[in-house]
Structure 1
Amino acid sequence: MANIVFNTALGYLKRYAEQVGTGNAALIIVPLETSGLEADSVLRDKDDLAAVLSGTTNEQTTMGRKTVTACTVTVDDTNDRLALDIADQTWTAATGNAISKLLICYDADTTSGTDSTIVPLTLHDFSITPDGSDVSATISDFFRATSAA
């Protein structure tokens, strides 16, 4: 589950998730390098991917971004919550700089979008130093919201 939800995404996650896989909409997973990584309190105020990467936070480009075109939206009436889930992600023969976070974003149009139109949704702790082996991330319920009682 997410360590933080970006302020710009609060209240929109279900809508974004339901659009994934329709038209050219997708989730984008961006590995963030350990070196220069800004604090969660700074990152959560960024409104688009370009802003996330405009400070000292660096994308780990050797591993590369993942595009996810399927997201499961589960409304759990028994537990009064909503869960969003995506398949586990694997980077084959991963190399490059160490990473500490995975950023999940929403891209409404993967054919013409730019980093300034990609919305950051959630940020997850994920510390690895790529060594040429495959790297898998299990991302169960990357977001879960519970109604207040």
Structure 2
Amino acid sequence: MGLGYTYLDTEQLTDVNIGNELRNAPRHHVSADAVYRTGLWTASATALFASSSFSDAANTVDEDSMGSVGELPSYTLVNTRLGRDIPLDNDMTLNVGMGVNNLLDDDAYFRGADVSPVGRVPMPGRTYVLEGELSF
């Protein structure tokens, strides 16, 4: 089990926007994870919270008509996984797992950082994962 907290001092110290918060830099991050193992089964959950931030150095609160500036909302991301080891011959193990990413289906978004200069870039919604891993 793990728990983490990060405080980021996001105050701009130079330039025309001195005193404002840095762009795309949430002040607070909280993370937690838990893993439970019993026999051949493993269950895990992770959670991340990021506080709100601004998408521009001027700290514009209201979104403009193109969605290029404005406050970014806080978000919480929860992922879960359940897996089972299946022992095979020759010291090999197959782990089959299934999981849910963004379990709470949080509909947060980001501003176009790398993929688009303007507009909202949505965080992926709830997704289901089926996976296998062979260890030998």
If the length of structure 2 is used for normalisation, what is the TM-score?
Answer: 0.29
Q: Which structure dedicates a bigger proportion of its chain to strand?
A: 2
Q: Which structure dedicates a bigger proportion of its chain to helix?
A: 1
Higher relative contact order (CA 8 A, sep 6+): 1
